[in-house]
Structure 1
């Protein structure tokens, strides 16, 4: 179910409404109309600022449109990822309300058998008390478990992933520093430089969880708690992985890609050097020129698969930027399954990327698959332990995973500021 979102277009105050109704998912059409409303309102705001009569109402209106536009884009993106709902309990579908089978069976038995109904089911006039006929009004209840949102990073999906069969993984890198020179027919041939070999270790760390549930609860619960618990642990592991892949310090965990940027903790770890940082062009914000500088600083060999990697709040600020011809650098996706773009390159949102602030690396641009390597030692292992802490059953769950920069050259980092 999509929530109601309303975006007011520019004008004296509001010339039209763009609404995403609860009974229908947002469409590409609604997203396009929302973007037009955003551009019109933003243009009006800029004109007011130039005249020195900036209107607070206009600024608030723009922020509301911007927020609604972000929700529209996210919802459109999510439509391409929707899968069939998992089933819990006695065939109850997630999100559906199912009638209680015991109440319903008793009610039907009473209706069929009349006076011969079981003694504990009586037809009376109160639905609040079972003994007085509560079975005549079978209740409905949700046989699912509500879940608090956990923000999951798409880092694994964007990176190169390999599975290894031993305790660790080493990658050898040649520096291509072979020398050469032009010589005459009889000139001497002195030794030239010889390329060197560098080694980078990718040692998996271990994630673990050890939740416990009583045996009676496992036996009596109306939902499949083992399935639910496994899903919760998997989600938590994915969240922890995403954080480590971006900023992990390598201590029993992966080395985060941000730690390889020039000046960061692992800037000298790779034989090819650090991920190059490029200033944003503004002291405490993104700038259109700065983003274009980043794009063209990336070697053309890596531009075909290059994407922007940043968080949602940063994207909200970038949406207002224009090029020299007044065209907005950000564009929504106009086809189902196609990504939103920034200066023509796809955008990937990472919840754990740093926000916009002076000195922060607030965005990455490049080919993440060619840059970052995820190492899986084994998949998730679960040890069901009903003996150690009776009457609790522990589900000891582990996963061994590592990661680090495979090649820093296909990536650039945007550092907020006018200089490095």
Structure 2
């Protein structure tokens, strides 16, 4: 296991050495390591909770927001869920060596496009200690070594979790250095990791816009950004209003401090008088602060619901809190334009019984995940059957949406001949 006494370069060197063995490791050994990690998490729950309690106390003293405290917190059920996610990864097909496509050329050469690991993957993340295990498990299954860098707010939790994972994996036959942790440094440590382009193949940052900006300023290692989630729910003119009410309540209140929670509700003008009074009351009763446009404010006032005036900035904000921007639009087309202008390309939902509107929304909205009559809260590797995820990419190159084991592979072309030479 990497410790704080090792330099970033030393951790990355050990990961590079381990990656060469990992790339050729058999599925059974990788699955045995994942089983060992899952079992160790349950067996050492008390140790994890003790470390997490130290982080939570420090977070309270430093004034972390409720959303960040929720992301930071672990309990026995969350640890069991992390272990279950690790076991779910065991059940997934091993992507390494999968033939993505193959063909025989007219000259008789056989060409196979074959999945291979990236090599060394660095994951930089904020607050959420579960990412320590999710990232380690996904990288092991996909044959990659992983270098982890969590935030100082979860330092004790991450140290214990990475140590448990590294110990269990090593005992099961995974090479030493395959799970490394860098910690204890500030922004200079992040810059050091982001410029290890001779040792690290790819970085996944999982955090806010500040982390993204910090990496963009210095990174020489390729980066796939798991960006913020300014997500929308649009209630169309002929939506099932009971469905719409349930979807917006779930998307906004089921867990507010996550990237797939809804931050804006848009309602078609024809549905607004029937839908908004009850929906706004339900959201208010759930503790949601409502920031609304002028037309919504009129309906809210008539329904006795207190609101605040939405500012231009509110439409562009990922609140990660019990705050919701609400606006009325005159068409599905206007909703699509609004989402493409203000959204972050993460997860967007329409509630409608109109097939034409659903198809226009599906085709017109530029986002990694588009939902028809379902909550945005399903954008998650576990919910998508990936076991877990490293993050949700809003980029368009290589991978988009939840990053699981298949997305942690690149490919090579394997060409077989019989003494072929080019004329």
Scaled to the shorter chain, the TM-score interval is under 0.3
Which has more strand, going by share of residues? 1
**Which structure ranks higher in relative contact order (CA pairs < 8 Å, sequence separation ≥ 6)?**
2
Between Structure 1 and Structure 2, which shows a larger proportion of helix residues? Answer: 2
Give me the TM-score of the superposition, normalised by structure 2.
Answer: 0.21
TM-score (norm 1): 0.21
